[in-house]
Amino acid sequence: MYPFRIVGPAAVTAEALFRLELLLGEPVVDLSAVSDIVTQDGGLKAHVLQLAHDGAPGDEGDLSVHASIVAIGIERLRESLRQTRFRLKTN
């Protein structure tokens, strides 16, 4: 398996980013809802899979989106979204 690398910022839809930020701002986060938003947006999906791949010890490169979110953790995902600059898809 070749290493998975994203070059430059991932392209996401403004709606998906907004919805994810709203969910992650809640005191209790619905993991299924977060997973649904991430799965439906290619840029967010790539970002989450990359975060999980970078932080995975050993050979855990084949994580699903849901498992990747669990592996990353909500706090790390929140922090990553605060620090990451995304390109917005224009349709």
Read off the pLDDT of each residue in 12-23 and give the average, rounded to a whole number: 90
Domain ranges of the chain: 11-88
* Whole-prediction pTM: 0.76
Q: What band does 6 get if pLDDT is binned at 50, 70 and 90?
A: very low
Find the mean pLDDT for residues 53-66. 70
Query: What's the pLDDT at 14?
Result: 86
Q: Cβ contacts of residue 65 below 8 Å, gap of 6+?
A: 35, 38, 39, 45, 48, 49
pLDDT at site 86: 73
pLDDT at 62: 65
